[in-house]
Structure 1
Amino acid sequence: MQADAVFYAKEEMLPQVTKDRSLLQLMQTAMLPRLLSPVVAMPDMHEGYGIPVGGIMVGDGLVSAGCVGMDINCGVRLLTTGLEYDPKIFSREVLLELVLILERAIPIGLGGEYTSEHSHLALDKIVFDGVKHLASAGYATDEDIEHTEEEGRITGAAVIALSDRALKRARLQLGTLGSGNHFMELERVSHIFEPEIAKTFGLHENQLCFMIHSGSRALGHQTCLDYVGKFFPKEHEWGIEVPNRELASLPVETKEGADYLSAMHGAINFAFANRQMMTHKFRSMFTGFMKSKGIAADVRLVYDVAHNSAKWEMHRDKRVLVHRKGATRALPAGHPDNPKQFARTGHPAFVPGNMATGSYVLVGTPEAVKTYYSVNHGAGRAMSRTEAKQTISKQEFEKEMGEVVYNKPFRVISDEAPAAYKDLDLVIRTLEEAGITKRVARLVPLAVIKGD
């Protein structure tokens, strides 16, 4: 191997990682040239495309489309509503009504698209300017921009680097959820661990919140396929041999490498805009719904952070390309790249668990330098989708879900059942005990919307 490989895990988690190819993928990634050592895997690691999900690879002049993955800038944002959770107001019937209204407002699922709703927005400007273009059209506030990683726009994007096939469905998918593990969720804050940090984040106990998990949809998927296809035949010209085609990599100074960075940055901007458009839809729908009941809501963005990206960052005084595949950036207090409002705390990092257990809000510590200022992005899968569909019963699913409202029948979302995921608390404790993260808040689900 060209670099060491480090996997953060507790002993009781080790049998699970032998069930798939994730350890092999981690070692294969460490065989790439021009890397910083080590290649790192988070405790939610499971088999992915090329590098395992939960992997961090840092290129010293090397870029890999597979190490970013198919869903470029898949990420999570958390919104507060200005309301407390009151079970009398948010009864099961009301939650079901909200779910139905949200499903009508925001297309979901693999084929979730609009027809022509956003045709007045210029796709090339969305790719280039991200959330800032939406702000100019009235779909985002200044605070939304300030509370989004990179202010919702990463520089260096170029629409010309994206294929026609990648762009074809992008406009129709702006403001849509997607499928798989993507979700929208009404939650309440059940516990605060760090009151002062939580106060800076605008969080308190029993607060009603809304979480969005989505990415760049077909635009990112096709961009990954396009550039893996371009990278692989060129590798021999640079003396690069990879053990797995999905890890196809090139120096950043090549035309293909530079073009991928421009295309990937465009997909990053589209994904930021995608989550922002969903925020606009939710803000409009939810405030109108609550107003009809005589209640004033105030929907505000806590933060939006990506977990599939490659970004130029400084690491130990060296400018490097940090690839995060299913890993969330978590800059600690005092880091110069923090948004100014989080300079003294570090910015929020969000770690969803499953449909029943909810999510954590974390913050990184100075020790996170060991993981290139990265934390896990979720609990991680304990079962493949096929295994989950074959082994989890409807009775088990309904027992685990309890009183949580959900929008799809069991047969459609059985592969997303709580039992298909690892123990979130165990995953969180792994990095916490390593001194890399601190828990700030816990959120528990009230209603979950999944694609099919």
Structure 2
Amino acid sequence: MDLSKLEKIDEYTWTVPLKPGEKRAPVVLYGTKELLRSMDDKVLEQITNVAKLPGIVGKAMTMPDAHWGYGFPIGGVAAFDPEEGGIISAGGVGFDISCGIRCLRTDLSLRDLEPYAERLADELYKTIPAGVGEEGEIKLSPKELDRVLEGGAEWAVREGYGVPEDLEYIEEHGRMEGAVPEFVSKEAKKRQKGEMGTLGSGNHYLEVQVVEKVYDQKAAEAFGLWEGQIVVSIHCGSRGLGHQIGTDYLLSLAKAAQRLKIDLPDRELACAPITSPEGHEYIGAMNAGINCALANRQILTHLTRQAFRKIIPGTKVETLYDVSHNTCKREKHVIDGRERFVYIHRKGATRAYGPGHPDIPQRYRNIGQPVLIGGSMGTGSYILVGVDTSEQRALSTASHGAGRALSRRQALKQWSGKEIIQQLAARGIIVRAHSSRGVAEEAPDAYKNVDLVAEATEYAGLANRVALLRPKICVKG
């Protein structure tokens, strides 16, 4: 990114000066000079276009891990007020609706794991369906799938995939209200028929990790974390159903924008007023997609527990937290001096409530919400905690991952999957993958430095680091 186009507010905050006669909301980019330089110029163009959309309130923002996306940049955040003609855009949610991370804590130490690591890797690879279009053993009728889309993780627990205690540690308690399965197309439901409880491909993964370093002892104790502990991170979303919802409604919202004569700065930002029929239908379908993802991660949690207990009997595997990073949610925030309900698009960005918020599980409420930043196979991931300053700075939002530095095509030109697997094995990281090409596309060096992203997230006042996690086993599609 060309930093000459930006104005520096502080070491971790940048803005885009208004041009004469330009009408838009303020644009703020969070991150260090190094991280911003590594971003494509398209990120700046996209977030500036977002700032021109109808009914935006506050500022259009990017997180320290931002990169080029469809419509919104990945790592893009913006709030819209329905009372001021605010819109909703499928490009501001993303195709993988409610893609997110479920973190599980265990009672195992690295020393406990090491004798079983290879066997556990094989069992997880066998138990967790992964890969492009891969289906699992769960086959749902249309009526059953509608119950999933209405019930989310609550449905999964009722069906025996997990325990009620899991729901306490999932956003929305595992079920997003306002889902309308009737607004989801037959094609979307057809794609999801056999994909419940599957990991998918691309940057999705299941990782067995070790807590290498604790930064905040008080928060770590609240989260049940300690150095040397084994945890598991499951990164996936709503699979084919979410992608099809995005595809279907891009067309619907584009027609609405044309009908209502909305002047789009970019056709990828196809949108409709939140209060319009098209906006109402997309929100109902999107919420169904969120429930699909929450149910999917709940089933994968159940399968993970089965694999652990088969190889290491008696292992305790508890849900630490589950948070999505591709959503649009109705939330109450103070913006421009007054409290209001707004719809916040978070695309490749994570909700990060500070201490005391009523939507945080009681166990964590005095500390703040767990924030999960996923890294790449060979680097690491972070658990952070929401802070009070994030509300004013970014509507309680933080980074979601390392963010790509190279495209998948560029990665394929530089690495082979076999080469990456061998390199990681030499470092004690076991990879089980269904696609060698997929491993090459997700090579560790194809991503930004996750340590710099987590550090910038903290110093920008978005969330504070609690623990660094290093991968030991990685299962990929």
| Pairwise same-fold verdict (TM > 0.5) | yes
1:114 equivalent in structure 2: 136
1:34 equivalent in structure 2: 55
What SS does the aligned partner of 1:3 have?
Answer: coil
Change (3 A) 1:121 1:255: closer
What SS does the aligned partner of 1:157 have?
Answer: coil
Distance 1:400 1:281 in 2: 25
Distance 1:420 1:301 in 2: 30
Q: Any residues of structure 2 matched to 1:84-233 within 5 Å, and which?
A: 84-86=109-111, 89-91=113-115, 94-114=116-136, 116-117=138-139, 122-233=144-255
Change (3 A) 1:124 1:412: closer
Determine whether 1:347 maps to 2:365: no
Is the Cα contact below 8 Å between 1:392 and 1:419 reproduced in 2? Answer: no
Question: Which runs of no fewer than 5 residues in structure 2 stay unpaired?
Answer: 1-22
Determine whether 1:300 maps to 2:324: no
The TM-score with structure 1 as length reference comes to 0.94
Determine whether 1:309 maps to 2:327: yes
What SS does the aligned partner of 1:86 have?
Answer: helix
What SS does the aligned partner of 2:92 have?
Answer: coil
Choose the corresponding residue for 1:387, options 410, 419, 440: 410
Aligned letter for 1:58? A
Is the Cα contact below 8 Å between 1:2 and 1:33 reproduced in 2? Answer: no
CA RMSD after TM alignment: 1.8
1:60 equivalent in structure 2: 81
Choose the corresponding residue for 2:381, options 340, 356, 359: 359
Q: CA deviation at 1:255?
A: 0.8
Is the Cα contact below 8 Å between 2:424 and 2:430 reproduced in 1? Answer: no
Aligned letter for 2:318? R
Q: CA deviation at 1:118?
A: 5.4
Is the Cα contact below 8 Å between 2:119 and 2:311 reproduced in 1? Answer: no
Identity of aligned residues (%): 40
Aligned letter for 2:91? G
Determine whether 1:323 maps to 2:330: no
1:448 equivalent in structure 2: 474
Choose the corresponding residue for 1:371, options 383, 394, 397: 394
Determine whether 1:69 maps to 2:94: yes
Change (3 A) 1:240 1:176: same
Change (3 A) 1:120 1:167: closer
The TM-score with structure 2 as length reference comes to 0.89
Q: Any residues of structure 2 matched to 1:253-264 within 5 Å, and which?
A: 253-264=275-286
Aligned letter for 1:447? I
Q: CA deviation at 1:323?
A: 0.6
Distance 1:151 1:171 in 2: 24
Distance 1:51 1:436 in 2: 20
- Please identify, of 267-276 and 345-354, the stretch whose mean Cα deviation from structure 2 is larger: 345-354
What SS does the aligned partner of 2:304 have?
Answer: helix
What SS does the aligned partner of 1:44 have?
Answer: strand
Distance 1:110 1:103 in 2: 15
Change (3 A) 1:116 1:176: closer
Distance 1:260 1:253 in 2: 11
Q: Residues 176-212 of structure 1, C-alpha deviation per residue, up to 9 Å, x if partnerless?
A: 0011100000011111111121111111111111110
Aligned letter for 1:431? T
Is the Cα contact below 8 Å between 1:397 and 1:417 reproduced in 2? Answer: no
Is the Cα contact below 8 Å between 2:371 and 2:463 reproduced in 1? Answer: no
Determine whether 1:336 maps to 2:358: yes
Choose the corresponding residue for 1:79, options 101, 104, 108: 104
Distance 1:52 1:108 in 2: 27
Question: Which runs of no fewer than 5 residues in structure 1 stay unpaired?
Answer: none
